[in-house]
Amino acid sequence: MAAAPPPSLSYRTTGSTCLHPLSRLLGVPLDQVNFVACQLVALFAAFWFRIYLSPGKTSPEVRHTFATIFGIYFVIFCFGWYSAHLFVLVLMCYGIMVTASISNIPRYSFFVAMGYLTICHISRIYIFHYGILTTDFSGPLMIVTQKITTLAFQVHDGLGRRAEDLSAEQHRLAIKVKPSFLEYLSYLLNFMSVIAGPCNNFKDYTAFIEGRHIHMKLLEVNWKQKGFHSLPEPSPTGAVIHKLCMTLVALLLFLTLTKTFPVTCLMDDWFVHRANFLTRLGYLYVVMQASKPKYYFAWTLADAVNNAAGFGFSGVDKNGNFCWNLLSNLNIWKIETATSFKMYLENWNIQTAIWLKRVCYERVPWYPTVLTFVLSALWHGVYPGYYFTFLTGILVTLAARTVRNNYRYCFLSSRTLKLVYDVVTWAVTQLAVSYTVAPFVMLAVEPTISLYKSMYFYLHIISLLIIIFLPVRPQAHMQMQPQTLNSVNKKKAD
């Protein structure tokens, strides 16, 4: 793994330096301070946007313009001249949108966007030595790449394919008219999602801008049966407050737990050479747990920003409660209580899994799982540690599925046995995930090999033995296709 940068370099950024005194006071790198500052300003701007620039008070063009200008300002504030990469990619792909034939729009957009992203990934690692001396602009570029490719395929579905050839979801999201330049910029660069995402659909976004987003979801419910004479008006305030509380807890954990157990602990001489195996196992779990709060913080705050603007309403649950999780990128409770590898992966980086399914898994004619894995790996970047995580994840997923199919039914005869099964599988799942994702946060080859050698490659060996010697049994419930996709793509924390 690349060595930690000297303290002075932690405060270098190509973005704004006006918060440098605060960065020094908190002892937090300046680019991270800029990121949090932009997201907090975006949160207040989102409330203002919903109240004072609501669809009933102003036109869609004004809402598009405000969202775009504010988003561009945030990108420049955080990344300085590196923001040019985002703007160049957006302009190139809009050129493809208006000049290429309908059949070529998704193909050209995909290869240009993914090619540009990959070049940027490579330059940060092999030209700038693992990005230590550069501001990490790859996050927004990854989000923009998702949106560009999503939009390109949905335009093709609406204008270049027959309705009978589309799945129900593809038909619902198909776009019948190419977006204008302002709509294109607003969708890709709006202040609510340009910094931390998540990816969303163009139809959902334009419905939100035009004031139809919540109304469409509410029409799916028979409100007269519930005693309403008109459609209710759901407020996102409760959902935003709940998510901000979760964000605050994640921030506190990041400032305490993450600082106390940094990933560099896994390269200490004590851990690698002197600690016994069980100690290493437990310590690895703690360090990997400590690495998660930053993802919980960033993704939950991004979700809250969108909700504050009035975007992200997903409908009404079975209890009649309004839900604001259309854009949620994780389910923390299900992650921390997961009793299977599949359950863990299905609730981590949710929107990226959906994107991979929509642009790759459902569209390629051959080897969808393998090609989805390849796309996910390339999108995440070219750090060697990422590929260790993906390859290990595939192995563990196959082994976990085999064990589940062979033995789970034996524990369903009583509540006590089921409880024992759940406790054991929870512990195994958490330890397996910690082992699998460690290379993802370590990045480089040498520390990854050192870690796995110190752990005797135990999970690789156990997984291989299970795959080789246990019989292959069919799954009890054949609903595995999209789940298999998640297994391949989600092994990333992005």
**Which residues are catalytically annotated?**
349, 380
Torsion of CA 242, 203, 91, 185, to 10 degrees: -50
Please list, in sequence order, all residues whose beta carbon lies within 8 angstroms of the beta carbon of residue 161, skipping any fewer than 6 positions away. 174
Note whether 392 and 439 are within 8 A (CB): yes
Give me the residue label for tokens 């390859």: 391
The answer to whether the Cα torsion of 339, 344, 345, 350 is positive or negative is: positive
Distance CA 28, CA 258 (A): 13
Note whether 87 and 44 are within 8 A (CB): no
Six-digit token pair at 174? 């198909």
Distance CA 372, CA 356 (A): 7
Give alpha helix (H) positions in 123-195.
Answer: 138-160, 168-173, 181-189
- For the chain, how many helices (H) and strands (E)? 24, 2
> For residue 453, how many other CB atoms are within 10 A of its CB?
10
Note whether 85 and 194 are within 8 A (CB): no
Distance CA 243, CA 263 (A): 27
Torsion of CA 353, 292, 198, 36, to 10 degrees: -170
* One-letter amino acid for residue 485 of the chain: L
Query: Peptide bond before 198: cis, by omega within 30 degrees of 0?
Result: yes
Give alpha helix (H) positions in 328-471.
Answer: 332-336, 341-346, 350-356, 368-380, 384-407, 415-442, 445-454, 458-469
Phi and psi (nearest 5°) for 474? -65, 150
Note whether 441 and 263 are within 8 A (CB): yes
DSSP at 367: -
CA angle 192, 196, 199 (to 5 degrees): 75
